[in-house]
Amino acid sequence: MIQHLQTLVNGIVLGTLYACLAVGFSLVWGVLNVINMLHGSFIIFGGYLTYYAWRSYGVHPLLALPAVALLLYVIGYVTQLLAINRVVSRPVLTTLTLTFGLDLILYNFMTVYYTATPRRVTLDLGPVEFGGIIVPVDRLIGMALALLLTGLLYLMMRRSRIGRAIVAVRMDRDAAALMGIEVDRIYAVTFGIGAMMAGAAGAIFAMVYPVTTNLTGTFLGKAFVVCVIGGLGSVPGALVGGIVLGVIESFAGQFFGPQQALTVGFVLMLVLLVVKPTGLTGIKGYE
Amino acid sequence: MPKARLASWQQWAAFAAWTAALASTPLWATNYIAVLAVSIAMNTALALSWNLIGGFTGYPSFATAAFFGLGCYAGALAQRAGVPMPLAWLIATVVAGAFAAALGAIVLRLKGHYFAIGSIGVVEMMRLVISSWDSFTGGGDGLNVPLLSGGPNVVARVFLAVMIGIMAVTFLVTILVDRSRLGFGLRCIQQNEDAANMIGVDTTRYKVIAFTLSALFCGTAGAAYASWRGYIDPIESFSILMSIKVPVMCLLGGAGTVLGPVVGTAGFMLLEEVFWASFLDYNRAILGAVIVVLIFFLPGGLLGIAWHDIGTRFVRLMRPPKAAA
């Protein structure tokens, strides 16, 4: 019993990280209708920056996180404005291929400059235990940060002018333009936020797990699965999707071995795509 | 943009000339070039295959690597079980086709982004299943495939002939589809699927046929590749990079045209070859840059450029603005 409870807790902790990892991807897909193949590399880039700030200059990851997030926001904003906005209304084949091309460039430079060695920030905080369930403190911090960031994004989408503008563009691009919203700028902001969340997720991951460029595809795959489970473009959807995936992977790993955990995620995604493409929550994302 | 459609005999002549050039490489070029020719023929077959679903039908399929990898493993496992090589390739072809038909019936209900994600998911899932099924597929260690006897030169020539054969058959199928009711129906689906359905195109059946045709020769090419290389592993067989490269080759030439995939693959492979040699560390970045340039500046591919008046347009571009006004 206690073992299952431990697996459940592990799954939830992992799931919140997945949610944070996927929420930016989901937002970009939902608002821009672009499948952002760069997302995985953005995450790893954020992780590497955090690691090197810690390693070379002794900057604590918690301090590095806002800076990394801001930098990624700028990169995302510029990428969207200069490159993706030119083709944003073209079919998915074009936009997906373009972001994949950009991903290859970023990926290549990361492997050349940082090499693919797995690296992590080791804080050595030890574990905490309640009622027989053990959770490492760094993971707990990661979970809290992931929840905090996802919550902040949710608040921003609901309360701020820019958030309402993003939702308006998502609902009807043309009507939003008629209401005086600069659609191109909103697209750039949205993509920037997507990259920012990726960078922040990367910073969190670097504290908890080793990051390497070999993981870009895995993280991107997670973002796909979470998005399809939770429904597109919605922050609560990504949270639900992330936690569901985390728990399922955790139990699948316990029962069938860790390799199968990934497979189960993809099978679940394919089944859901076919039976219920709006995701488990059925949220259309108009938060 | 006026689309210059080539006459039928011109298509044949261009393809025949290219085939002859590839087939004759052992006579006039180094072994290195001959091996490159095998790769070009194989990728041309894959690009022509993808063109049927991605170009004609307009479905953004990234499942090429799933069919190719399935072909690799089906062929390799059959050969290891003692099946003669050509029969193993035939088995791989049928397996890939049957898999695509079954899969297509399910995933072709999805459209646009969901279809794209679904097809990528299939590749990932196949790779994971093959790498974890140790007892049957050798898992992450991969599989050795019995090599053809006769020394490297003979082997290279045999596989050059085989890959060119697969490429020619794929081209033939493309021509047949292009001129048939099927091709017409697929183009209708690409333009507007609902309207096509209304005017009596059996869209589901047509899409599944196109998807299956697009998988068949990926399976053959995969099996032949496995026999050629003598070793396969899940990471190389089911690579997302391949799933994206093949559509890019097709787009480079011009998707939905008969010669586009042939021209595009040739251009892509030669470009890649030039850059591979000179910038070993940056070949992925260069591939990425090629993709970006292609998407921005060549939306219709090389065949979509209006070559006939390119001279006059260039002159107009060079003229000082006063004269133009």
Closest to B117 (Cβ–Cβ): which among A33, A35, A93? A35
The residue among B260 and A124 whose pLDDT is bigger is: B260
- Decide if pLDDT at B183 tops 80: yes
Burial of B138 (0-12, 13-18, 19+ CB in 10 A): buried
Please enumerate in sequence order all residues whose Cβ is within 8 A of that of A271, keeping only pairs 6 or more positions apart, or say none: none
In a mutational test of the B interface, the residue from A94, A96, A100, A112 whose CB has the highest number of chain B CBs within 10 Å is: A100
Tokens of A35: 């499948």
- Decide if pLDDT at A178 tops 50: yes
In a mutational test of the B interface, the residue from A38, A104, A255 whose CB has the highest number of chain B CBs within 10 Å is: A104
DSSP string over chain A: -HHHHHHHHHHHHHHHHHHHHHHHHHHHHHHH----TTHHHHHHHHHHHHHHHHHHH---HHHHHHHHHHHHHHHHHHHHHHTGGGTTTS-HHHHHHHHHHHHHHHHHHHHHHH-S--B-------EEEETTEEEEHHHHHHHHHHHHHHHHHHHHHHHSHHHHHHHHHHH-HHHHHHTT--HHHHHHHHHHHHHHHHHHHHHHHHHHS-B-GGGHHHHHHHHHHHHHHH-TT-HHHHHHHHHHHHHHHHHHHHHH-HHHHHHHHHHHHHHHHHH-TT-SS---S--
pLDDT at A209: 86
- Decide if pLDDT at A139 tops 90: no
Task: Please state the domain extents for chain A.
Answer: 2-116+161-275
The amino acid at residue A64 is: A
- Decide if pLDDT at A61 tops 50: yes
Q: What is the mean pLDDT of chain B?
A: 86
Q: What is the mean pLDDT of chain A?
A: 87
Mean pLDDT of B145-156: 80
pLDDT at A242: 92
Question: Cβ A224–B290 below 8 Å, yes or no?
Answer: no
- Decide if pLDDT at B244 tops 90: no
Q: Chain A interface residues facing chain B, Cβ-Cβ under 8 Å?
A: 29, 33, 35, 83, 86-87, 91-94, 96-98, 100-105, 107-109, 111-112, 217, 221, 224-225, 228, 257, 259-260, 262-263, 266-267, 269-270, 273-274, 277
* Exposure of B29 in the CB half-sphere (CA atoms within 13 A): 13
Q: List the single range of B113-117, B140-144, B308-312 with lowest mean pLDDT.
A: B308-312
Please enumerate in sequence order all residues whose Cβ is within 8 A of that of B85, keeping only pairs 6 or more positions apart, or say none: B79, B148, B227
The residue among A124 and B175 whose pLDDT is bigger is: B175
The alpha-carbon gap from B222 to the nearest alpha carbon of chain A, in Å, equals 23
The residue among B151 and B201 whose pLDDT is bigger is: B201
Mean pLDDT of B311-325: 63
Q: Where are the alpha helices (DSSP H) in chain B?
A: 8-23, 25-28, 31-50, 64-80, 85-107, 112-132, 134-137, 151-179, 181-191, 193-198, 203-229, 234-237, 240-253, 260-278, 283-297, 310-318, 321-324
Other beta carbons within 10 angstroms of residue A266's beta carbon come to 23
pLDDT at B3: 47
The three-class DSSP label of residue B291 is: helix
Burial call A249-265: b when 16+ CB within 10 Å, e when fewer = bbbbbbeeeebbbbbbb
Contacts of B107 in chain A (CB under 8 A): 270, 273-274
pLDDT at A42: 95
The amino acid at residue A26 is: S
pLDDT at A286: 45
Q: What is the pLDDT of residues B54-107, one digit of tens each?
A: 989 989 999 999 999 999 999 999 988 888 889 999 999 999 999 999 999 888
In degrees and rounded to multiples of 5, residue A162 shows phi and psi of: -65, -40
Cα B165 from Cα B35, distance rounded (Å): 15
- Decide if pLDDT at B237 tops 70: yes
Long-range Cβ contact pairs of B120-123 (< 8 A, separation 24 or more): B120/A224, B120/B62, B120/B240, B120/B243, B121/A221, B121/A224, B121/A225, B121/A266, B121/A269, B121/A270, B121/A273, B122/A270, B122/B63, B122/B66, B123/B62, B123/B63, B123/B65, B123/B66, B123/B69, B123/B238, B123/B240, B123/B243
Query: CA torsion sign, A60 to A66 to A69 to A74?
Result: negative
pTM: 0.86
Query: CA torsion sign, A180 to A182 to A187 to A189?
Result: negative
Tokens of B25: 């490489």
Question: Cβ A97–B247 below 8 Å, yes or no?
Answer: yes
- Decide if pLDDT at A234 tops 90: no
The residue among A69 and B24 whose pLDDT is bigger is: A69
Question: Cβ A98–B291 below 8 Å, yes or no?
Answer: yes
Q: What is the pLDDT of residues B152-181, one digit of tens each?
A: 778 888 899 999 999 999 999 999 998 899
- Decide if pLDDT at A66 tops 70: yes
CB A225 within 8 A of CB A268: yes
Contacts of B281 in chain A (CB under 8 A): 108, 112
pLDDT at A281: 64
CB B250 within 8 A of CB B242: no
Cα A226 from Cα A19, distance rounded (Å): 7
Cα A28 from Cα A104, distance rounded (Å): 19
Query: Residue B60's closest chain A neighbor by CA?
Result: A93
**B231 beta partners:** B144
pLDDT at A282: 59
CB B306 within 8 A of CB B1: yes
Closest to B288 (Cβ–Cβ): which among A108, A221, A266? A108
Angle, in degrees to the nearest 10, between helices B240-253 and A92-114: 130
Contacts of A103 in chain B (CB under 8 A): 288
Long-range Cβ contact pairs of B146-149 (< 8 A, separation 24 or more): B146/B79, B146/B80, B146/B227, B146/B230, B147/B230, B148/B85, B148/B227
């080759």: which residue's tokens?
B249
Q: Chain B interface residues facing chain A, Cβ-Cβ under 8 Å?
A: 54, 58, 60, 62, 106-107, 109-110, 112-114, 116-118, 120-122, 124-125, 128-129, 131-132, 240, 244, 247-248, 251, 281-285, 287-292, 295-296, 299
Closest to B60 (Cβ–Cβ): which among A96, A217, A221? A96
Q: CA A178, A195, A165: angle at the middle one, nearest 5? A: 20
pLDDT at B5: 58
pLDDT at B325: 41
DSSP string over B212-232: HHHHHHHHHHHHHHHHHHSEE
pLDDT at A194: 94
Mean pLDDT of A185-207: 93
Residue A285: which pLDDT band, with cuts at 50, 70 and 90? Answer: very low
Q: What is the pLDDT of residues A214-225, one digit of tens each?
A: 888 888 888 988
Question: Cβ B288–A98 below 8 Å, yes or no?
Answer: no
Mean pLDDT of A53-62: 87
Mean pLDDT of A201-227: 88
pLDDT at B1: 35
pLDDT at A67: 93
Cα A60 from Cα A138, distance rounded (Å): 13
In degrees and rounded to multiples of 5, residue B14 shows phi and psi of: -60, -45
Mean pLDDT of B243-265: 89
The alpha-carbon gap from A137 to the nearest alpha carbon of chain B, in Å, equals 32
Give, for B301, the enclosing helix (H) or strand (E): none
- Decide if pLDDT at B50 tops 50: yes
Question: Cβ B251–A259 below 8 Å, yes or no?
Answer: no
